[in-house]
Chain A
Amino acid sequence: MDKPSYNYDIVRGFVNWSILWGVVAVLVGILIAFQMVLPQLNFPPLFTYGRLRPLHTNAGLFGWGLGSFFAAFYYITQRLTRQRVWSDRLARFQLWWFNATIIAAAVTLVLGYNTSKEYHELEWPLDIMVVVLWVIFAVNIVMTVVKRREEQLYVSLWFILGSLVGVAVLYVVNAAEVPVSLFKSYSAYAGTNDANVQWWYGHNAVAMVLTLPPLAVFYYFLPKTTGAPLYSHRLSIVSFWSLVFMYLWTGAHHLLWTPVPDWVQTLAMGFSIMLIAPSWGSVINGYLTMNGQWHQMRTNYLVKFLILGITFYGLQTLQGPSQAVRTFSAFIHYTEWVPGHVHMGTMGWVSMVMFASIYYMLPHLYGRRVYSVPLANLHFWLVLLGQLGYSVSLWIAGVQQATMWHAMNPDGSLHYSFMESVLAMYPYWWVRAFAGVVYLAGVLVFVYNIAMTVRRGEPVAEAV
């Protein structure tokens, strides 16, 4: 078998930059977490909570999330097609365009140029930058796949291609806006329609950015690290098609009890519950792939990251559908519970899987063994602890907050003022902020380990 020469340069580039943006996201996350308890940490006009929170979410989802997916996708696609990436120059250009977009995003968000739509805050000139970025990327991946030297398309490629079209459709439709000036525009949709379009986008950003891509990565790296083949190819295919079909019906579960037509809410609720099946299809596929390999949970740190990651995905896809039930939504919607849910997905599922994929790729990218496995283990425990501290404290907080909001006196008046519920949140907010610091410590161990791998890692005998 002839070994094509792969473009690892681009993978290295995306790995490095995505980690940098990840550190920024976590730092800003910690800053806004401390602003919640110490409001004097707001430095107006540029650095107030209202402007920094979108910076945090964008840096996290797009800088770290998408950036690391780009890295993994370039790696996986080349390996699975046994074909060098279609255009090296386009890929290089994409890396710099990506960084330029993230920097422009950070600057404009801090300056207050935003559309207010969650996960779509960027103003219209930046929307155009994002679209260009996506088109370049899509063309390069699709052309590589078209020119592949391997007939079969492994399931990871399906998930990658699926997210390519998914993101494209979502982003463009939700971006429809009328510019007033270079950095100000108004949505093309009004009121309830705008809300419904936004959450059709918002929830499917979860699908197309935080679900399909990490699943593509998971499906590729789990068999690679364990050495055991994927339990069932068929199951993964069924999961894929039902995921991409069903996700799009569920956006209105973010809008339960609002003026959005009832039938739209009911459909969203029904499909959210049905989503458990395809989601758990992937979880079970992962667990069964581990059949006979469970001892690797002790011996192989990569397996720990991946299995914990898919477990958090499993929990996330049980918790999510329950939040989509009207009665439960009435209780936890708008409360601290929701950031608890979000960060189990982002800090747990997405980040865990991406950490594993980067560790796995390092020896291939730099020809050196990972510098220190004990440090990788330390990284694992710190991020796990940080994430659990974050989510668990906020779930408890959310339940208490909701109880206080709804508590009534026998004479039909409210038992607590809003401010009493705010004051009750402070202890939890403190725990969350310190849990974030623990998570950051884990991430810094990761960065150190990578830097040392590049400089001092033991060379790998032959090129892999």
Chain B
Amino acid sequence: MWERRPIIFLLLATAAILVGTIVTMVLPFAWVNTEKDRIEAVAPYDALQLAGRDVYIREGCNNCHTQTVRPLVAEVIRYGPYSKSGEFRYDRPHLWGSRRTGPDLARIGGKYPDSWHYHHLEDPRSMVPGSNMPAYQFLETRTVDPAFTRKKMDVLGFPYTDEEIAALDGKTEMDALVAYLQKLGADIGWREHAQVQVIGELVNPYAPDPDVLSEGARLYADNCAQCHGVALDGDLGPELTGARDIGEAELYRDLWNGIPDGGMPSFSTLGQKKIWKIVTFLMSQEP
């Protein structure tokens, strides 16, 4: 009978749609962004970071980058601790993404020094050969609009000071984007906690034979040359021609832990073997 009544049919169809909607879309609001999942350390975006976030949205970085680390072994090793709900409570909209053409950025904050990001965003291939990320040099020619940013902060209800807004004057969109990237995932301070003390005596298992040295040179070219120069002559990082003076054990520690305050990333994800090979390669260099 009712299959001949289009209006009743429409109502029934709506009802059918609403059941699943209410259970799986409306109900979760009672679980999410409540006191239970709050993380004290997570702060709202400041004015510069928010402006940067909007550049990220405008340029559609989320079409290639995700912002959620899943609780899977390899993923936690690659990117850092898995993401918690409370870390996103200020994210309108969320930027979790659905494709990883490029790596996850949920914990990119603090991984590199600012200068690395400037170089990389201007010309990704100059830092990472073979990358297919677009170049965003033009962001350096555009400036952030302080009045508009103030309005945005108001709409989102984020705290700010007049000085903070005044300081936006003259900042480029590139500055803003880098400030945003440096905040991502950094609030919970995991990099400091992840620091491990290498204990016991550190003994290089490799002799400087040609195989090890060529593998070490390759690893250096892939991972270090972008900052320390192809010829170890220094660029964003200091020159490494005299690295052998630092000593094997100390070099190993520098690579494993990084030098967070100095902008030298940790390379623990490479594993002990690869790090030792790089160290062997560095030790073989004549100053």
Contacts and interface: CB of A to CB of B under 8 A. Distances in A.
Interface string B6-27: 1101100110111111011100
B128 A190 contact: no
Nearest to A174: B25
B230 interface: no
Contacts of A196: 24-25, 28, 32
A44 B134 contact: yes
B156 interface: yes
Contacts of A237: 3
Contact of A254 (B14, B28, B98): B98
Contacts of A42: 134-135
Given A194-B92, A194-B94, A411 B272 contact: yes
Give the size category of A's interface with B. 35 or more
A418 B28 contact: no
B7 to A, nearest CB: 7
B158 to A, nearest CB: 11
A447 to B, nearest CB: 29
Interface in A247-274: 247-252, 254-255, 257-261, 264, 267-268, 271
Contacts of B99: 334, 338-339
B234 to A, nearest CB: 22
A39 B63 contact: no
Contacts of B88: 190-192, 195, 259
A153 interface: yes
B136 A44 contact: yes
A337 B123 CA distance: 28
Interface in A403-460: 405-409, 411-414, 417-419, 422-423
A88 interface: no
B31 to A, nearest CB: 5
B14 to A, nearest CB: 5
A18 B284 CA distance: 65
Given A50-B134, A169-B14, A338 B9 contact: no
A116 interface: yes
Contact of A249 (B23, B54, B66, B124): B23
Given A180-B151, A187-B93, A334-B100, A248 B20 contact: yes
Interface in B111-152: 124-125, 128, 130-138, 148, 151-152
B63 A413 contact: no
Interface in B37-85: 37, 54, 57-64, 66, 68, 70-75, 77-78, 83-85
A244 interface: yes
B70 A44 contact: no
Contacts of A173: 25
Most chain A beta carbons < 10 A, residue from B31, B96, B152: B96
- Could you tell me the dominant secondary structure of chain A's interface residues? helix
- Which of A50, A158, A194, A257 has the largest number of chain B CB atoms within 10 A? A50
A44 B138 contact: yes
Interface in A207-237: 237
A291 interface: no
A188 B90 CA distance: 11
A49 interface: yes
A195 B29 CA distance: 11
A335 B71 CA distance: 17
A50 B85 contact: no
Given A151-B4, A414-B271, 6 more contacts: A181-B148, A186-B92, A189-B92, A193-B28, A408-B73, A409-B273
22 contacts: A36-B101, A44-B138, A48-B134, A49-B64, A157-B6, A180-B148, A186-B92, A190-B88, A190-B89, A190-B94, A192-B88, A195-B96, A198-B94, A237-B3, A245-B16, A251-B24, A252-B24, A257-B72, A258-B68, A258-B70, A268-B24, A411-B272
